[in-house]
Each structure stands twice: as C-alpha cells, then as structure tokens.
Structure 1
C-alpha cells in the first residue's frame, strides 16, 4: 500500500486516483469518513469502492473550515492566510473550488445512475455536507488565536478544543528592495564586529526552545547607531516598539497587548 502524509500531501494530488488509506484517519476525520461511507453503502445496497471517498479532501476541509455557532457562519482560511466568513451554500462552493471533491465524480455518477433526478444533487453533496455536520458538532469556534509558522507550507486552522482555534499563517518572506552589497556589510562589521552573533541571537530568540527568556541589553555610547540598526530591522518588520510604561505594566503582571 502506498503511504502518504495526508496532511502535507500537495493539492495537485487531490484529483488523482491515488487511494489514501482511510485507516490513517483519526478522530473527527474518521467520524466524517464513516458517516459518508455508511450513507453511500446504504444507497448502493452493498459495499462501495475503496477509492470513491477522497480522504485527503476530508482532511483539507477540517483543516480549512471552522463553524461559528453564534453567527451561523462558516469560516475558511485561504492559502494566503485570509480568514473569510461564508454561509453554508457559499462554503460548499468554496470548498469544491479550493480543496477538490470528497467523492470521486466518475464512480459516484455510476453509483447514483439509477436514482431519481431530484435525489442525485443531494447525494452529490453528501460528502461535504457530512463534513459540515461534523464541523458543527465538534469544531465550533469561540476564540481565535493567530500564529505565524515559519515552516508551514500553507495556511491552516488547528482546533485546540473548547471552541478555541489557532489560525496558522505562513511566513511572508521579507521584502528586500535593494541588492545585498557585501562591501557595505563588511564596512558595517568594522563598526559592529558582533553583527553575526547579534543576528544569530535574533534567530535563536525566535526558534530556540527557551526563546521566551531571550533578551539583549545593548550597551552602546551616544551616537553609536542604535537607531540605525533598529530602523534597518524595523523596515523588515522585525521590531516592535515598546514604551517604558508598557514594560513596567508587563513586569507588574498587568494585561498587555503583546504575545510572547
């Protein structure tokens, strides 16, 4: 049997006839799969083909759609990280366009060929409607937490339980408008010999296991160029200005509009 990572498999594989092993599905994905399989088996009055249900498409739906019970809206996240509200009819169209069909269209049409015409459309939407039913039960949203994953290849939603979602967005590469000039860098290193170590510390403060403890107290004389260094980083979106008053509030344990 072909082994495939169902979560990270590229979207172009969605429309192929590769069989994604359903035994790899767990939790709510498995519940949705079993629901779809049971309904199709009842329609077929017997066992169905193992390739009629696209397991990867089920995973994609549960990764990219959330349900807001309070406002009766479905929220989807695009590959660009946009969080967009939809009504049920619209989210079905969005899903079919971006994630592919949960049911193999060719096999499904053969299966429903003997059904009444008015019943065929209901059966065609059976896959996504079963997934949406599971979303309403197990993945209703009350709190959304935004994060950027430097290593994520596509944006996704992660359900943490109790109505809490984490919106995971991909990192947007820094916009470098000017070509890198090694002569300028070498010249700046004469002024700031610890530049490489400084940049390593910046990276470690983002990725190291103990990154929350990272800090740098830069002892520099007046007119050394602290503003120049910070402005260079600020242009790339690497710096957040914090006032002394806000730092004092944080140290006192008061609420602050910052995340570690």
Structure 2
C-alpha cells in the first residue's frame, strides 16, 4: 500500500550571505515579504498541501524562527487589552502550527541537512521545501500539492520544476529526461548542474520542491562531498534515479527566487499588489512614481 506523504522538511541552516548586513543577526527566512516572514509562506504552502508534521533544519543564529512559531503570552495579553482581535487571532494561529526542530551542527550542504531528517521521517516518503523559493498559487492547488498528486499516481519521487527560458538554463540544475503521457512531466534520466545552452538536455529546471522516497537516506549516507566540499542532494538524486523511477513535474504557479535581492523585491511588490487592503493604493503609488520619472 502506498504510504501517504505526511511529513515535510524545510532546511534553514544557511548563512544568508547574499542579504548581509540584514542577515548578520536575523535569519534570511525571517525577512518579511510585506508583513509576513518568508518562511511562513513556505510553512503555509506545506499545510495547505496536506502536510501534517513539519521539521525545520536550523543552524547558528536561527532562534528567531523558533520564536516566531512559539506562543507570545505578553504580546497576546497586550493585543487583547487593546481590543485588537484580528491581530490576536493571527498571532495565536501562528503559534498553533506544530513544528519540530533539529540543528545542523556543521554547514555541510543540502544533502547533509536532509540526512538530519532521517530519524524524524521514520522510513516514510516525505516532502522538501526550500526557503529560497516562494511559489504563489491561487487557493486550492499549491505547488507542493501538485507534486504530491504525482507521487500518489506514480509511487515515485518527484522533482518540482518549471520550464525556464533557454538563456536561463545555465543558472539552474537541468533535468535530462524522457517524455511521459503527461506533457508536464519527464521521467528523469540524469541532472546537469548549470549547463551551457548547447549542453542543456532540456529547459526543465529544478526549483526547490521535492517529494522523495526514504531510499534517499542510504544514498546520502554514502554520498561523498561534491561541489564546495558539501554533500549535494542533487548527487544523491542522480543515484536514486538510476535505482528507481524519479519524475520531474513542471508545476503551475508564480515562483520567486527570494534568495536573490531582485527576486525578493519582485515578490514583495507582487504580493503587496495582490493584497485587498493595500493593493489598489500601492498600484496608484507605483503609477505615480513611474509618471514622475517620465
């Protein structure tokens, strides 16, 4: 019987050096897109997809993440005293999310971070959501849920991908695969890290969402350090694809690379424009700003 995907891991142990000095004392995952930390968008996607238990792999100076999802009695009392019921409800809902934590003691790569989750997963297939990729979908079918649907249909690991322009393939890990009956899906043969346009086997780029079978753990335990002296998840997935079927799925949704400053700004602007409480006023401001420049 096919095991249900119940658990997800979110690695957050990186230093966030691209956002220094802001991330010297503040985790990059806590940088807000409008008024909500980046990691909360990731957690909410997991919950909306049907995930029941979440493990965050933390590291040095990441305590703010734990505090964010913890209760805040003094703050709740103050909000209650001032009659700010909507804010009080928001704070309580955030604290009600059940999250587990484990620390990655050394920064030895994404593969090592995933290996830290072995005991928590208990031999079950699981999801991985990387915090550098925020995906916007209309309510009802989050990016991770799309991958979970593919897993339920195939019983196999699934890489979350999107088709990128040909001139962008050198910025991503690109899937080498064969077509399936589903136009959005390839069966993975291999992956090529940041190939040239001429070398790229496809335009399917792996973008921070995965559903993985537990066989990955034994592979990770025997994966030698690769690029940068780190244990790479990609190297382990390539081995997995030679042992059992692995699929790449071109998920629907607007994806933002919030680990990049421009991508973070795009996410902030577009999420603000979607907000019913500020979108129209913000759009007017942007139009005025552009008119002044003209």
Tell whether the structures are fold-level matches, with TM greater than 0.5: no
TM-score, normalized by length of structure 2? 0.22
Kindly indicate whether structure 1 or structure 2 has the higher relative contact order, using CA contacts under 8 Å at least 6 residues apart. 2
Name the one with the larger strand percent.
2
